[in-house]
């Protein structure tokens, strides 16, 4: 006899919090259809970096931000660290 959705839902909602969390994870995993959680996370991360790169490129091209040479950034960082160290001492 097939399970009735409403009965399953009602029963599930009466489980304790840990059991509901475990059931939710198993249900979500069953929807992935062979795609691992790590693969999904990696795809999301890749997309986030792609979006960030596009945003930064647009900011530079529009003149909203001015690029700074790496050597300048390193020099300023060393100065900040040098000042911080002498203040801490």
> What would the pLDDT profile of 49-68 be if each residue is shown by its tens digit?
999 999 999 999 999 999 99
Residues 66, 56: contact at Cβ < 8 Å? no
Same domain, 42 and 69: yes
* Dist. CA 75–CA 86, nearest whole Å: 17
Residues 6+ away with beta carbon under 8 Å from 58: 64
pLDDT digit string, tens, across residues 39-48:
777 888 888 9
Say yes or no: 54 and 15 in one domain: no
Residue 40 CB partners (closer than 8 Å, separation 6+): 32
CA distance 8 to 23: 11
Residues 86 and 43 placed together within one structural domain of the fold: yes
Domain that holds residue 24: 1-31
Output the pTM of the full model: 0.43
Chain-centre distance of CA 5, in angstroms? Answer: 33
């Amino acid at each position: 006899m097939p399970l009735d959705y409403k009965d399953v839902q009602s029963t599930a909602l009466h489980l304790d919090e840990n059991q509901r969390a475990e059931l939710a994870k198993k249900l979500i995993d069953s929807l992935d259809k062979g795609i691992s959680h790590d693969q999904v996370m990696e795809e999301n991360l890749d997309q986030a970096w792609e979006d960030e790169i596009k945003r930064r490129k647009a900011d530079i091209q529009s003149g909203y931000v001015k690029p700074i040479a790496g050597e300048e950034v390193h020099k300023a960082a060393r100065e900040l660290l040098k000042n911080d160290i002498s203040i801490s001492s």
